[in-house]
A and B are shown apart, each in its own frame.
Chain A
Amino acid sequence: MSATTRNNVRISGSGERAMMFAHGYGCDQNMWRYVVPHFQDRFRIVLFDHVGAGGSDSAAYDAGKYGTLQGYADDVVEIAEELDLRDAVLVGHSVSAMICALGSIKAPGRVGKLVMVGPSPRYIDDADYHGGFSRDQIEELLDFLSMNYQAWAAATAPAIMGNSDRPELGIELVESFCRADPDIAREFARVTFTSDNRADLPKISVPTLILQCSEDIIAPVEVGEYVRDHIAGSQLVRLAATGHCPNISAPDEVVSAMRDFV
């Protein structure tokens, strides 16, 4: 199967260079719906879903391959190769900030610039490192998510489909939005929140922009600064937006910071 089918790749916009967006844990490519329109006039836009999320092919899931973030990064590279992207701007949110970084390390010619939105190379505190979570908290978190996926899969999916105060989104979108294969999502959570990619940061060689939210409980300011300090020549922009998803809650701020960078 081609990577573009497997990962439900959607292409829009026009331009010499490509801009490829990777969604984070918990959602799908719709995460970028408020950002993408601002770049469609100058870039060829590539959107995709990680395997197990949105419209991807869950049958392609392989516990071995996707047992580390590198497996997801390999998918990003495969998509870039199939579309023959060169010098593309790679934009990753949340865990996909690191996934895209790993992709840029593997295929340097394909990626020209990297935008990391709310990145964290490691979520668990370590000796001289503040990740924001203790090991116990991560265990509690994974238990909770596992349970919520159980309930999610059993009870809430139909409610989401039938419930739209915003009919302009359309039924198809509502049906697929943030839908995930519960078993894969559970594993993705484990892989995400137990990952440690600190050693990969210095290997990033492309110009990198880090977007750091205020009051982000998942990727605190110290973590953003750690990422900046370990990627040579990177720049960090602090957003006024609060929370972990500025691409949803404050798209204008994200767009403006990205425009200056690209």
Chain B
Amino acid sequence: MSDQAPSFEDLYEDAPCGHLILSPDGRLTHANRTVSRWLGYEPADLVGKRLLDILSIGGKVYWETHVRPLLRMQGSVEGIALDFVQREGVVVPAFGSVTVIRNADDVAVEMRLAIFKAVERRQFEQGLVSARKAEAERGRLADESLRTERQNAELREQFIAVLGHDLRNPLAAFAGGLRLLARENLSERAGKLTSMMSGSAARMSELIDNVMDFAKGRLGGGIVLDRNAHAPLGPTLLQVVDELRTTHPDRAIEVELSIDEPVDCDRPRIGQLMSNLLGNALTHGAPDLPIRLTASTTTDILEIAISNGGSQITPAAMEKLFQPFFRGDVRPSQQGLGLGLHIASEIAKAHDGMLTATSSPEDTRFVFTMPLVRG
């Protein structure tokens, strides 16, 4: 055969694909040697069988429900998967194309089916199907856990807000009681004790304010300002300093105020910001070195700076300083929630201002700046 030109018959019989010719009612009238070999039949044995007899169950149903209607409508179908079944029952995955041949009177006379074995392609497709299933499942699980996480976070924050709110009233009663007690004729020891307790109550009140501000921020409320451009800011700042001096009589706080311009700000909030910064300096600063507070205005900016001596803040800690719940290395008894600096920076942002920190071996310095008037 090799010394002769290949005949079309050879091309048909031993083509690299299987050829099947069917009568219009779906019976095989020809099968080439290639497909006969794949399926384990002699070509003659295949003739007369229904195509459905050599298809897998999936192939049969697909042929009946999809391929036949398509062939009737458009005369050909390309690139369909069809699983065949060998004489011994083994499934042969294949894909192929079908064309309906019509005579001059437009009557269908036969169907021609070319098929390719598609073992690897089928494995690939099955892999795709599995991957799609797994992907959908992963996506579903991820969505679910994200949703649960969000719900939990929201619940936690609502819980904090409610708890903070409910703690305020008994704490106010407690502080009021202490104020009444302080007016009584107390012994020196009792006087010191009530003063310490008042300091603790004030500190608790600040913690609650910070926690509630944080929770509100997370719940979408944000920090709401009640600005006033006319009331003086100086007395508010001095009052905060006085309170802290009372509760920390052994610490030196040096104050230098030169607020010459009106500041369009929420004074209690600026007081809270400063109280948080001073509280931070009292906790982390060296006890034997003074804390310095300066507040001044230029023609368009308010600047409040608070510095303290003591050990330098590490670069790693500097990065996280203003994040919520960040706590530096302090004695456990001094640990707060780690919200003070975070809330202070949020108050600064609410005023279109900035809060920055620098730290050297000599001193640690926080600077708050904000525009005097709203932009």
Q: Please tell me if the beta carbons of A25 and B76 are within 8 angstroms of each other in the complex.
A: no
Question: Is A174 at the interface (CB under 8 A from chain B)?
Answer: yes
Which of A24, A33, A150, A163 makes the CB contact (< 8 A) with B128?
A150
> How would residues 10 to 47 of chain B score, 1 for a CB under 8 Å from any chain A CB and 0 otherwise?
00000000000000011000000000000000000000
Question: Is B139 at the interface (CB under 8 A from chain A)?
Answer: no
The 9 A-B pairs at the shortest CB distance, nearest first, are namely: A144-B58, A26-B65, A165-B75, A159-B78, A244-B64, A156-B79, A137-B57, A148-B81, A248-B72
Which of B57, B68, B99, B128 makes the CB contact (< 8 A) with A245?
B68
Q: Please tell me if the beta carbons of B74 and A147 are within 8 angstroms of each other in the complex.
A: no
Q: Which residue of A lies closest to B64 (CB)?
A: A244
Question: Is A31 at the interface (CB under 8 A from chain B)?
Answer: yes
Question: CA of A147 to CA of B81 in the docked complex: distance in angstroms?
Answer: 8
Question: Is A218 at the interface (CB under 8 A from chain B)?
Answer: yes
A217 and B60 in contact, given A144-B81, A150-B132, A151-B81 (Cβ under 8 angstroms): yes
Question: CA of A215 to CA of B128 in the docked complex: distance in angstroms?
Answer: 34
Question: Is B366 at the interface (CB under 8 A from chain A)?
Answer: no
Question: CA of A255 to CA of B100 in the docked complex: distance in angstroms?
Answer: 24
Q: Which residues of A contact B (CB under 8 A)?
A: 24-27, 30-31, 33, 94, 133, 137, 140-141, 143-148, 150-152, 154-156, 159-160, 163-166, 169, 174, 177-178, 215-218, 242-245, 248-249
Q: Please tell me if the beta carbons of B129 and A150 are within 8 angstroms of each other in the complex.
A: yes
Chain A residues whose C-beta falls within 8 Å of the C-beta of B69 in the assembled complex: 26-27, 31, 178, 245, 248
Chain A residues whose C-beta falls within 8 Å of the C-beta of B75 in the assembled complex: 164-166
Question: CA of A163 to CA of B52 in the docked complex: distance in angstroms?
Answer: 25
Chain A residues whose C-beta falls within 8 Å of the C-beta of B368 in the assembled complex: none
Question: Is B122 at the interface (CB under 8 A from chain A)?
Answer: yes
Question: CA of A24 to CA of B68 in the docked complex: distance in angstroms?
Answer: 14
Q: Please tell me if the beta carbons of A169 and B73 are within 8 angstroms of each other in the complex.
A: yes
User: Interface residue count for B (Cβ, 8 Å)?
Assistant: 37
Q: Which residue of B lies closest to A149 (CB)?
A: B129
Question: CA of A141 to CA of B80 in the docked complex: distance in angstroms?
Answer: 15
A177 and B74 in contact, given A27-B69, A150-B128, A242-B26 (Cβ under 8 angstroms): yes
Residue pairs across A and B with Cβ atoms less than 8 A apart, 23 shown, are A24-B65, A26-B66, A26-B69, A94-B65, A141-B58, A141-B61, A144-B57, A147-B125, A148-B58, A148-B81, A151-B125, A156-B77, A159-B79, A160-B74, A163-B76, A166-B73, A169-B73, A178-B69, A216-B64, A217-B60, A243-B26, A245-B65, A248-B73
Question: CA of A169 to CA of B72 in the docked complex: distance in angstroms?
Answer: 11
Q: Please tell me if the beta carbons of A30 and B73 are within 8 angstroms of each other in the complex.
A: yes
Which of B64, B73, B76, B79 makes the CB contact (< 8 A) with A151?
B79
Q: Please tell me if the beta carbons of A244 and B80 are within 8 angstroms of each other in the complex.
A: no
A164 and B74 in contact, given A148-B80, A150-B132 (Cβ under 8 angstroms): yes
Q: Please tell me if the beta carbons of A178 and B61 are within 8 angstroms of each other in the complex.
A: no
Q: Please tell me if the beta carbons of A160 and B70 are within 8 angstroms of each other in the complex.
A: yes
Q: How far is the CB of A211 from chain B (nearest CB, A)?
A: 15
Q: Which residue of B lies closest to A31 (CB)?
A: B69
Chain A residues whose C-beta falls within 8 Å of the C-beta of B57 in the assembled complex: 133, 137, 140-141, 144
Question: Is B275 at the interface (CB under 8 A from chain A)?
Answer: no
Question: CA of A27 to CA of B71 in the docked complex: distance in angstroms?
Answer: 12
Q: Please tell me if the beta carbons of A144 and B62 are within 8 angstroms of each other in the complex.
A: yes
Question: Is B214 at the interface (CB under 8 A from chain A)?
Answer: no
Identify which of A133, A141, A216 gathers the most chain B CB atoms within 10 Å of its CB. Answer: A141
Chain A residues whose C-beta falls within 8 Å of the C-beta of B68 in the assembled complex: 243-245, 248-249
Which of A27, A145, A159, A166 makes the CB contact (< 8 A) with B62?
A145
Q: Which residue of A lies closest to B77 (CB)?
A: A160
Identify which of B26, B59, B73, B80 gathers the most chain A CB atoms within 10 Å of its CB. Answer: B73
Chain A residues whose C-beta falls within 8 Å of the C-beta of B95 in the assembled complex: 151
Q: Which residue of A lies closest to B100 (CB)?
A: A165
Q: Please tell me if the beta carbons of B25 and A242 are within 8 angstroms of each other in the complex.
A: yes
Question: CA of A216 to CA of B77 in the docked complex: distance in angstroms?
Answer: 22
Chain B residues whose C-beta falls within 8 Å of the C-beta of A217 in the assembled complex: 52, 60-61, 64
Q: Which residue of B lies closest to A33 (CB)?
A: B73
Question: CA of A152 to CA of B76 in the docked complex: distance in angstroms?
Answer: 15
Q: Which residue of B lies closest to A148 (CB)?
A: B81
**19 additional contacts (CB under 8 A) given A26-B69, A242-B25:** A33-B73, A150-B132, A151-B81, A154-B128, A156-B79, A159-B79, A160-B74, A163-B74, A163-B78, A165-B76, A165-B100, A174-B74, A177-B70, A216-B64, A217-B52, A217-B61, A218-B64, A245-B69, A248-B73
Question: CA of A145 to CA of B59 in the docked complex: distance in angstroms?
Answer: 9
Chain B residues whose C-beta falls within 8 Å of the C-beta of A140 in the assembled complex: 56-58
Question: Is B335 at the interface (CB under 8 A from chain A)?
Answer: no
Chain B stretch 95-131: residues in CB contact (< 8 A) with chain A: 95, 99-100, 122, 125-126, 128-129
Which of A137, A152, A169, A249 makes the CB contact (< 8 A) with B74?
A169
Q: Please tell me if the beta carbons of A249 and B61 are within 8 angstroms of each other in the complex.
A: no
Chain A residues whose C-beta falls within 8 Å of the C-beta of B79 in the assembled complex: 151, 155-156, 159
Chain A residues whose C-beta falls within 8 Å of the C-beta of B73 in the assembled complex: 30, 33, 166, 169, 174, 177-178, 248
Q: How far is the CB of B76 from chain A (nearest CB, A)?
A: 6
Chain A residues whose C-beta falls within 8 Å of the C-beta of B62 in the assembled complex: 144-145, 148
Question: CA of A133 to CA of B75 in the docked complex: distance in angstroms?
Answer: 30
Q: Please tell me if the beta carbons of B81 and A243 are within 8 angstroms of each other in the complex.
A: no
Question: CA of A21 to CA of B127 in the docked complex: distance in angstroms?
Answer: 38
